[in-house]
């Protein structure tokens, strides 16, 4: 399916494709409804970044059919570098070009009633659960042109379901790779953690070979009462990929979501990380690290919206922009009326290396209730010349000095990331991007 201009694909073709995959009628109808709205909806409008000239429609979903593998030894080294089999306890899903090529699940998952499978399998085997949550409270298909496009074309991704009172002890990991030229990646990840359950999920997006052209990615997380979800993500898509990624959570009473995100794509990226604290005592902690290079443009919006009483939300973001890169950090703490005793804190910091690098940090507090506490901090600046002089006076080259400064600037966030495997991956990816 080559996609050059809208409309993306005709309704007859979309219906034929959905029915060919034996998808239920409700999903076919959802796709068709979303497709019908694409033309009338506008692009999202991230603060301080104009994306109307970004190319979100030149791609194909007719991708090379990847070969399934029976052993991790058969994996391309480009994918293998992200696999942490020891950390996941063999609960691992690997997809290439949107198709599953390898999956293992720890035996105790099935014994506890935990579901961890690819999105297509979930639709066939757990359709009622998927229908209950898909594109409902956390994300809506008709929010903008790109969410509608995603709903119409979503393919690839994962489904995780954790029953009530079940604790998943080891992380579940998914690696999503894409290698075909002009590829369009439309993964959808859906996580449901029932009351008093817990789970850790780590995902990696990576491009190798020719890599992706467009990535339109959505993750929905539903955290039940008293449940806890740790969500780790490290994105390393290639320079030619234009990326729109939405990661959101809907958190009930006394539930908790921890985000640990490494936004390390090499291409232009718009990312939304939004948490709705709907229950009393709900909690969100969002941490993000980014390094920009070349001429890439990046916009990262983190929003924690408080509805519940005594809810707490924390945002911590550090980014380094090198060469001619542009990075925009938008942080928003929104406390709604009646969310008494809510508390929100946020910190955004950007370091610019190079005269032509640019960064902007925008902390925003929107408060409609009196009996709350909130605070914010932000800084944007260039490297301290005295730091560079000190390091270089010890015989260290400028390039090595800048590498050390990048690691030092990001370490306060990396060290606090709640998922150990993500901390390990982040240090490796930062090292790669720091070598200019």
pLDDT in tens, 184-198: 999 999 999 999 999
Bigger pLDDT: 245 vs 183: 245
Say if residue 396 is exposed, middle or buried (CB neighbours under 10 Å; 0-12, 13-18, 19+).
middle
Which of 197-201, 231-235, 281-285, 391-395 has the lowest average pLDDT? 391-395
Query: Which band of pLDDT confidence, cut at 50, 70 and 90, is reported for residue 4?
Result: very low
Whole-number pLDDT of residue 424: 86
DSSP strands (E only) in 252-296: 256-263, 269-277, 283-292
**Alpha-carbon span 204 to 198, nearest angstrom:** 21
* pLDDT averaged over every residue in the chain: 92
Whole-number pLDDT of residue 436: 58
Contact in structure between 201 and 230 (CB atoms under 8 Å): yes
Query: pLDDT at residue 389 above 90?
Result: no
Q: What is the CA radius of gyration of the chain?
A: 21
Query: Which band of pLDDT confidence, cut at 50, 70 and 90, is reported for residue 6?
Result: very low
Query: pLDDT at residue 273 above 90?
Result: yes
Query: pLDDT at residue 341 above 80?
Result: yes
Which of 32-41, 124-133, 178-187, 326-335 has the lowest average pLDDT? 178-187
Query: pLDDT at residue 7 above 70?
Result: no
* Range 361-382 burial, b when 16+ CB lie within 10 A, else e: bbbebebeeeebebebebebee
**Alpha-carbon span 336 to 369, nearest angstrom:** 6
Query: pLDDT at residue 211 above 80?
Result: no
φ, ψ at 126 (rounded to 5°)? -135, 40
Residue 206 β-bridge partners: 177, 236
Residue pLDDT, tens place only, 354-370? 889 999 999 999 999 99
Whole-number pLDDT of residue 310: 98
Q: Distances in Å between the alpha carbon of 394 and those of 201, 331, 401?
A: 43, 38, 10
Query: pLDDT at residue 85 above 90?
Result: no
Tokens of 314: 């924390």
Residue pLDDT, tens place only, 111-125? 999 999 999 999 999
Whole-number pLDDT of residue 220: 98
Handedness of CA 141, 270, 314, 367 (dihedral sign): negative
Which of 149-153, 297-301, 330-334, 350-354 has the lowest average pLDDT? 350-354
Whole-number pLDDT of residue 88: 62
Segment 145-153 shows an average pLDDT of: 97
Query: pLDDT at residue 2 above 80?
Result: no
Residue pLDDT, tens place only, 62-81? 877 888 898 888 988 888 88
Q: Which residues contact 432 (CB under 8 A, 6 or more apart)?
A: none
Query: pLDDT at residue 104 above 60?
Result: yes
Whole-number pLDDT of residue 179: 84
Whole-number pLDDT of residue 61: 83
Whole-number pLDDT of residue 244: 98
Query: pLDDT at residue 287 above 80?
Result: yes
Query: Which band of pLDDT confidence, cut at 50, 70 and 90, is reported for residue 8?
Result: low
DSSP string, 13-47: HHHHHHHHTT--HHHHHHHHHHHHHHTTSPPP--T
For the whole model, what pTM was predicted?
0.95
Whole-number pLDDT of residue 107: 86
């Amino acid at each position: 399916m080559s996609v050059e201009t809208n409309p993306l694909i005709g309704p007859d073709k979309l219906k034929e494709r959905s029915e060919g995959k034996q998808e239920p009628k409700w999903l076919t109808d959802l796709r068709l409804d979303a497709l019908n709205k694409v033309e009338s909806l506008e692009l999202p409008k991230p603060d301080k970044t104009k994306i109307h000239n970004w190319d979100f429609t030149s791609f194909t979903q007719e991708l090379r059919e990847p070969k399934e593998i029976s052993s991790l030894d058969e994996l391309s080294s480009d994918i293998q570098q992200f696999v942490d089999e020891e950390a996941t306890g063999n609960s691992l899903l690997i997809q290439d070009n949107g198709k599953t090529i390898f999956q293992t699940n720890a035996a105790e998952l099935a014994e506890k009633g935990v579901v961890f499978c690819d999105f297509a399998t979930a639709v066939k085997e757990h359709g009622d659960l998927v229908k209950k949550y898909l594109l409902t409270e956390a994300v809506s298909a008709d929010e903008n042109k790109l969410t509608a496009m995603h709903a119409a074309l979503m393919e690839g991704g994962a489904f995780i379901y954790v029953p009530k009172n079940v604790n998943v002890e080891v992380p579940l990991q998914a690696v999503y790779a894409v290698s075909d030229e002009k590829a369009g990646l439309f993964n959808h990840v859906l996580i449901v953690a029932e009351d008093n359950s817990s789970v850790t999920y780590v995902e990696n997006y990576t491009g190798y070979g020719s890599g992706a052209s467009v990535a339109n990615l959505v993750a929905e997380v539903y955290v039940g009462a008293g449940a806890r979800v740790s969500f780790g993500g490290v994105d390393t898509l290639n320079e030619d990929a234009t990326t729109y990624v939405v990661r959101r959570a809907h958190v009930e009473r006394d539930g908790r979501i921890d985000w640990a995100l490494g936004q390390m794509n090499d291409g232009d990226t718009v990312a939304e990380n939004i948490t709705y604290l709907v229950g009393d005592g709900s909690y969100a902690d969002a941490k993000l690290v980014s390094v920009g290079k070349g001429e890439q443009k990046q916009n990262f919006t983190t929003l924690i919206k408080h509805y519940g009483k005594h809810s707490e939300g924390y945002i911590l973001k550090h980014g380094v922009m090198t060469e001619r890169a542009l990075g925009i950090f938008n942080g928003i703490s929104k406390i709604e009326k009646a969310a008494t005793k809510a508390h929100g804190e946020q910190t955004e910091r950007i370091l610019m290396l190079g005269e032509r690098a640019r960064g902007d940090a925008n902390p925003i507090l929107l408060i409609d209730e009196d009996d709350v506490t909130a605070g914010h901090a932000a800084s944007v600046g260039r490297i301290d010349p005295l730091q560079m002089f000190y390091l270089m006076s010890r015989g260290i080259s400028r390039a090595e000095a800048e590498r050390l400064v990048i690691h030092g600037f990001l370490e306060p966030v990396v060290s606090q990331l709640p998922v150990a495997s993500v901390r390990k991956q982040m240090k490796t990816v930062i090292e790669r991007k720091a070598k200019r």
